[in-house]
Amino acid sequence: MEDRIFTDEIIPRHEERLEAKRAEEGSLPERVRKMLELGARAEANGQGEERIFRLQAEFMADWELPDLYRSWFSAYYPTYARMSGPQLLSYFSWRTRWKAGERKMGSPVSFAFVYVYELLNGAGASGPQDAWEKLSAFWEEYRKLDFTLDRYVPQWLDDLVVYEGLDQDLMRREYVPKSDRETAEVVEKLERGVRFDADPEFAEETFQLLNARSSYKLEKSSFWTGHEKAMKRLVLEGFLKLRARRALGTDRWFGTRYRRDAELFASAVFDFSRRPEDRIYTISSFKRWVCERGSWRLEELFPERATLPEISAFLKVVDAELRNASGYKRKLTVSDPTGDFTRAVREVLSDWDEARRKAANPVRQLDFGRLAGIRADALETQEKLIVEEPFEEALPCAEGAAQAALKEEALKTSENAFTATTAAALAEDTDRGAPEAAEVGDALEKKPANSEMLASEDRKLLQRLLDGIRPTELPGGLSPEMTADRLNEKLYDAFGDAILEVVGGKLVLIEDYAEDLRELLQDS
């Protein structure tokens, strides 16, 4: 046992190892020797492993070795530098036979990775598109023999599209719900500063998104009918004011855009120094890659799908403030702790009032250039009309009457001209920036009609809500939302508005209608 463990061995000297390596390299083909010399010079110049591999791969891209060599090779991140002489010959022999159409199992999978790395770095391809096509074709063929590449190559193909800026149709498709795509398009336009008046479809999509994220539905308000345009406009303009101030997270109401470092070509030998310039690759409103100073990051949007209490409170403030501005009889009590919603909405209403005031009193500007021309023409005409006549003394009374008649005629002519000018100016002026008067005018009150006959369980439910009890079991086993819609519709003729809402998953009575509901239950 001792003899097997502790035996003297000759340790080869460094010079002997170098001589053995030179002898091995000396037996290699000239092209392979030059490739190794190229790598040695690049390493001496401080080049990284990835760049050395790319330079060697480009040098050996068109070289073929038809002779059959067999030498096993296996390594993590396999490169030429990790291969011995026989392994290099075995690799180039395998690559030559593969390109010729030979497909046999049993070759080292590390050879396949080396060939993939060559194509990723553009060696053996006429351009980025050709490299992608050759890599895709090689993977489809090789996976018939071995599935090892399936874990890496699909992602590397997508990374190659991003890095080289190829057509995004080459990338794998990701399923994105239609609602998320619409949300992303709205967010993208908001970030670009697209104006609502320049894109009415964008304005409507933004309003619908706000309404969908709110538990307070404006279309169920008694004030909605006849004031749809004004309410939509107030919602959008108020939202823009809040967004400009970055108040209450309005920039995240539709979703959150995350940014993180992106690792392209993970687990691959890839030379990023080929394209050092900054660039952005966008595949959709959801996702884009940004390269700055050689570093890549990924920006992704995650749309918001749930209702937000902030949006619900904002829409209710819009309804309440527009009712107050219009003198509507049924008022709404709102809770706005910070006052940001109320402040923004009132600023919009103030802007509308200012626009209407300016429209009612338009600023008129005189064109003094035209006045000078008119004066010159009048003087020229006057000179033409002056005719020398013999002096005749007119009667005093006749002269006075003629002068009075001329003054009165001139005054009438001036007044008629001023009236015509004023009418034309007012006709050309429009209400820019303000909704029609009918939209924010006094709303006509509808006379409440008799309510439909309520079932006994509905009466009990409403009475419990009046007593401040939030029931856990609802008639018919319906959800709070369905119960609220059913009773609001049944009592709409009596109140002209929704009196029930759902807060925190519980059915709640709006306090403004408590007394009216109590009288209704007592009278019927």
pLDDT tens-digit series, residues 344-400:
999 999 999 888 888 877 666 666 667 667 777 777 787 777 766 554 544 444 445
Report pLDDT digits (tens) over 25-64: 667 999 999 999 999 999 999 999 999 999 999 999 999 9
pLDDT band with cut points at 50, 70 and 90 for residue 191: confident
d(CA 246, CA 251): 6
**164: domain range?**
18-170
- Report if residue 89 sits inside a domain: yes
Give pLDDT, residue 445: 40
Q: Which residues pair with 282 in a beta bridge?
A: 288
Three-state secondary structure of 149-197: HHHCHHHHHHHHHHHHCCCHHHCCCCCCCHHHHHHHHHHHHHHHCCCCC
Looking at 131, 155, 170, which one is the last position of a domain?
Answer: 170
DSSP 3-state of 209: helix
Share of the chain above pLDDT 70, in %: 80
**Distance of alpha carbon 144 from alpha carbon 265, whole angstroms:** 23
pLDDT average, residue stretch 434-458: 52
pLDDT band, residue 515 (cuts 50/70/90) = confident
Domain-located, residue 163: yes
Q: What is the mean pLDDT of the chain?
A: 81
Provide, rounded to the nearest whole percent, the portion of the chain with pLDDT above 90: 41
Both tokens assigned to 459: 């009466």
Instruction: Give CA angle at 127 (123, 131), nearest 5°.
Output: 60
Asked if residue 310 lies in contact with residue 248, where contact means CB atoms within 8 angstroms, the answer is yes
Query: Which one, of 24, 5, 44, lies nearest residue 88 by Cα?
Result: 24
> How many separate domains does the chain show?
2
Burial class (CB in 10 A: 0-12, 13-18, 19+), 437: exposed
Determine, yes or no, domain membership for 195: no
Question: Does residue 7 lie in a domain region?
Answer: no
Q: Between helices 30-44 and 85-99, what is the axis angle to 10°?
A: 120
Evaluate whether residue 260 is within a structural domain. no
Which pLDDT tens digit goes with each residue over 112-166? 999 999 999 999 999 999 999 999 999 999 999 999 999 999 999 999 999 999 9
- The pLDDT, as a whole number, for residue 1 is 44
Q: How far apart are CA 384 and CA 38, in angstroms?
A: 101
Instruction: Give the predicted TM-score (pTM) of the model.
Output: 0.61
Give the position of tokens 């029930």. Answer: 500
Cα-trace Rg, the chain: 42
- 221 in a domain, yes or no? no
Of 4-18, 250-264, 507-521, least confident by mean pLDDT is: 4-18
Q: Which residues touch 180 (CB under 8 Å, ≥6 apart)?
A: 286, 303, 305
Residue with tokens 């009609």: 449
pLDDT at residue 432 greater than cutoff 70:
no
Q: Is residue 122 part of a domain?
A: yes
Cβ of 264: how many Cβ atoms within 10 Å? 18
461-479 average pLDDT score: 84
**pLDDT of 422 strictly over 70:** no
Task: Please give the Cα distance from 289 to 406 (Å, whole number).
Answer: 82
pLDDT tens-place string over residues 81-109: 999 999 999 999 999 999 999 998 889 99
Domain termination residue (choose one: 122, 147, 170): 170
In a domain, 223, yes or no: no
Q: Which amino acid is at 211?
A: N
Q: What is the DSSP letter of 274?
A: G
Strand partners, 287: 300
* pLDDT(431) > 80: no
Q: Indicate the residue among 125, 147, 170 that finishes a domain.
A: 170
Picking from 238, 240, 231, 235, the residue whose alpha carbon sits closest to that of residue 436 is 231
